[in-house]
């Protein structure tokens, strides 16, 4: 959630930056400022009347002590009238504060000055490419054929158990999932991240804190009776560990990593782009989260991007890093880098990670703060990134490393998988 002082300092600049995200309701900025003016007026009126109540009440005691009962009685009536005026002012103030909050949360985060102008993914900027695209052998096939050939993922049984878009990993497929998860976690903890194993369901406050609500209700699975949401990523529970907390400045940055299944409805997804493991409703992912000092968050972002790049290099996959344009960014992000790996059999790039800086957008919602050297409370910055999402990683590992007798695996995971190949 944007801070009110940011809007008030330069509303025109806020509107211009929001336009980079193609936000079409810039008039909300002016409406919010007017509501804040009304809130301030009502608060002042309430405080002034309360002060009169307090001062007049003190006068009553003095008058009674002097035996001036009539004067004291008149003051009592004055106090009663003042008190009766407080309730309607308080009710108006509560209503205005709610309206102010409800409109403020409709504003997306402001994009960083580094965000390129653009509306579609085609306008994202490729900032780096790495790895070598493989030359596939004759007769190479996409991963949805490979998983059937080696009997490692069963979509038909997954659909019987749950529904379309749910995969049943089995045998060497389940083993590969487990191997990659363990490898990713070990890689992250070796870099100083503390591992967590969070709940896979969160309450409304947690989903609101990271910006999933009210922006992404339709993408999340919701349990009506308990008012719980299945998590779309472990970013949600992990970042909320510090909700309503005052962290020590010297503890920053706080580095966390977690494995979780991720649940996404993604209603309306269909076609070749979602075939096989390209898009599923439940998938495994290892996440990175950092809580950083606001002066250092962009250095932390660079560090996280470099970390994910190193991890991809160990998997020996061709990749590219993109800086997302305004129109392709999430509601909560200030700057996002996407990682894509090349699927050789499909001859297309598949997204496997997003690394984002949210600046103070999430921390303002969650009230995660620290005290600076002057003892003043300040909002931290939050960041997160995938390290990594498994379905498309597995798809590319299968496709890019297929040979006549099986599928070779990168050396980094041999000990985790218990061998060099799937056969």
Tens of pLDDT, residues 317-372 = 999 999 999 999 999 999 999 999 999 999 999 999 999 999 999 999 999 999 99
CB 276 within 8 A of CB 142: yes
Q: Which residues contact 66 (CB under 8 A, 6 or more apart)?
A: none
The dihedral through the CA atoms of 226, 383, 107, 44 has a sign that is positive
Mean pLDDT of 387-413: 96
Q: How far apart are CA 186 and CA 195, in angstroms?
A: 9
Lookup: tokens for 223: 């349990």
State whether 324 and 196 are in the same domain: yes
Eight-state DSSP code of residue 244: T
pLDDT at 421: 97
pLDDT at 299: 98
Under the banding of pLDDT at 50, 70 and 90, the label for residue 61 is: confident
SS3 190: helix
State whether 215 and 328 are in the same domain: yes
In a domain, 263, yes or no: yes
Mean pLDDT of 48-71: 82
State whether 100 and 136 are in the same domain: no
DSSP per residue over 117-165, as a string? P-SSGGG-EEEEEES----PPTT---HHHHHHHTT-EEHHHHHHHT-TT
pLDDT at 257: 98
| Domain's final residue, options 104, 130, 160 | 104
Q: What is the mean pLDDT of the chain?
A: 94
User: What is the total count of domains within the chain?
Assistant: 2
Asked if residue 107 has pLDDT above 60, the reply is yes
Q: How far apart are CA 19 and CA 119, in angstroms?
A: 10
Under the banding of pLDDT at 50, 70 and 90, the label for residue 217 is: confident
Report the Cα 218 to chain-centroid distance in Å.
16
Per-residue pLDDT tens over the stretch 265-276: 875 555 556 789
Question: Which one is predicted more confidently, 313 or 78?
Answer: 313
Asked if residue 165 has pLDDT above 70, the reply is yes
State whether 348 and 277 are in the same domain: yes
How many other β-carbons are positioned within 10 Å of the β-carbon of residue 12? Answer: 9
CB 322 within 8 A of CB 340: yes
Per-residue pLDDT tens over the stretch 167-210: 999 999 999 999 999 999 999 999 999 999 999 999 999 999 99
In a domain, 111, yes or no: no
pLDDT at 77: 86
Task: For 310, list phi and psi in degrees, rounded to 5.
Answer: -60, -40
Q: Over pLDDT 90: what percentage of the chain?
A: 86
Question: Which one is predicted more confidently, 90 or 58?
Answer: 90
Under the banding of pLDDT at 50, 70 and 90, the label for residue 78 is: confident
In a domain, 116, yes or no: no
State whether 22 and 163 are in the same domain: no
State whether 10 and 58 are in the same domain: yes
State whether 355 and 275 are in the same domain: yes
In a domain, 80, yes or no: yes
| Domain's final residue, options 39, 74, 104 | 104
Question: Which one is predicted more confidently, 273 or 117?
Answer: 117
What pTM was computed for the model?
0.92
Q: Are strands 246-247 and 369-371 parallel, antiparallel or unpaired?
A: parallel
End-to-end CA distance of the chain: give it in Å, rounded. Answer: 50
Report the Cα 91 to chain-centroid distance in Å.
34
Nearest Cα to 358, choosing from 338, 339, 327, 336?
Answer: 336
pLDDT at 333: 97
Per-residue pLDDT tens over the stretch 312-324: 999 999 999 999 9
State whether 223 and 360 are in the same domain: yes
pLDDT at 271: 52
CB 66 within 8 A of CB 43: no
Radius of gyration of the chain, Cα coordinates, nearest whole angstrom: 28
Q: How far apart are CA 169 and CA 149, in angstroms?
A: 14
State whether 23 and 153 are in the same domain: no
In a domain, 146, yes or no: yes
Eight-state DSSP code of residue 252: P
In a domain, 110, yes or no: no
pLDDT at 74: 83
Under the banding of pLDDT at 50, 70 and 90, the label for residue 404 is: confident
The CATH number for 415's domain is 3.30.930.10
Give the containing element (helix H, strand E) for 283: strand 282-292
State whether 125 and 98 are in the same domain: no
State whether 168 and 25 are in the same domain: no
| Domain's final residue, options 38, 73, 104 | 104
State whether 87 and 136 are in the same domain: no
Give Cα separations from 70 to 60, 63, 75, 77, 78 (angstroms).
Answer: 10, 9, 9, 11, 13
In a domain, 112, yes or no: no
pLDDT at 53: 85
- What's the burial of 116, exposed, middle or buried (CB within 10 Å: 0-12/13-18/19+)? middle
Asked if residue 8 has pLDDT above 90, the reply is yes
Which structural domain, as residue segments, surrounds residue 29?
4-104
In a domain, 318, yes or no: yes
Give Cα separations from 214 to 19, 104, 109, 131, 226 (angstroms).
Answer: 20, 11, 13, 39, 18
How many other β-carbons are positioned within 10 Å of the β-carbon of residue 344? Answer: 20
The CATH number for 12's domain is 1.10.287.40
Asked if residue 64 has pLDDT above 80, the reply is no
Under the banding of pLDDT at 50, 70 and 90, the label for residue 54 is: confident
SS3 403: strand
Q: Are strands 194-196 and 254-263 parallel, antiparallel or unpaired?
A: parallel
Mean pLDDT of 10-14: 96
Query: What are the beta bridge partners of residue 349?
Result: 342
């Amino acid at each position: 959630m944007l801070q009110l002082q940011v809007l008030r300092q330069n509303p025109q600049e806020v509107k211009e930056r929001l336009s980079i995200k193609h936000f079409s309701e810039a008039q909300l900025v002016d409406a919010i400022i007017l509501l804040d003016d009304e809130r301030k007026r009502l608060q002042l009126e309430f405080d002034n009347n309360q002060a009169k109540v307090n001062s007049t009440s003190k006068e009553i005691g003095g008058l009674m002590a002097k035996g001036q009962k009539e004067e004291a009685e008149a003051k009592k009536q004055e106090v009663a009238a003042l008190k009766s005026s407080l309730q309607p002012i308080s009710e108006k103030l509560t209503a205005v504060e709610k309206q102010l909050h409800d409109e403020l949360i409709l504003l997306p985060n402001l994009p960083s000055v580094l965000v390129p102008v653009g509306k579609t993914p085609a306008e994202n900027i490729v900032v780096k490419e790495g790895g070598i695209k493989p030359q596939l052998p004759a007769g190479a096939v996409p991963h949805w054929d490979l998983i059937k050939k080696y009997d490692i993922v069963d979509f038909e049984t997954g659909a019987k158990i749950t529904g379309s878009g749910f995969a049943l990993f089995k045998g060497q497929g389940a083993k590969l999932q487990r191997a990659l998860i363990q490898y990713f976690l070990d890689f992250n903890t070796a870099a100083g991240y503390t591992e967590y194993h969070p709940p896979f369901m969160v309450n409304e406050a947690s989903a609101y804190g990271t910006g999933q609500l009210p922006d992404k209700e339709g993408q999340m699975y919701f349990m009506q009776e308990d008012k719980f949401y299945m998590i779309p990523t472990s970013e949600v529970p992990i970042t909320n560990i510090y909700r309503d907390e005052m962290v020590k400045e010297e503890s920053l940055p706080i580095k966390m990593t977690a494995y979780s299944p991720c649940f996404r409805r993604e209603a309306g997804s269909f076609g070749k782009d979602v075939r096989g493991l390209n898009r599923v409703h439940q998938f495994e992912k290892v996440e990175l989260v950092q809580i950083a000092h606001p002066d250092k968050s962009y250095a932390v972002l660079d560090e996280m991007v470099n970390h994910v790049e190193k991890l991809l290099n160990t998997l020996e996959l061709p990749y590219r890093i993109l800086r997302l344009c305004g129109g392709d960014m999430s509601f909560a992000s200030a700057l996002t880098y996407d990682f894509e790996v090349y699927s050789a059999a499909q001859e297309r790039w598949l997204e496997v990670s997003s690394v984002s800086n949210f600046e103070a957008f999430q921390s303002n919602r969650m009230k995660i703060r620290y005290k600076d050297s002057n003892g003043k409370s300040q909002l931290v910055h939050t960041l997160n990134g995938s390290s990594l999402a498994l379905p498309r990683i597995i798809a590319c590992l299968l496709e890019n490393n297929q040979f006549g007798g099986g599928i070779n695996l990168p050396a980094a995971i041999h000990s985790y998988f218990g061998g060099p190949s799937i056969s």
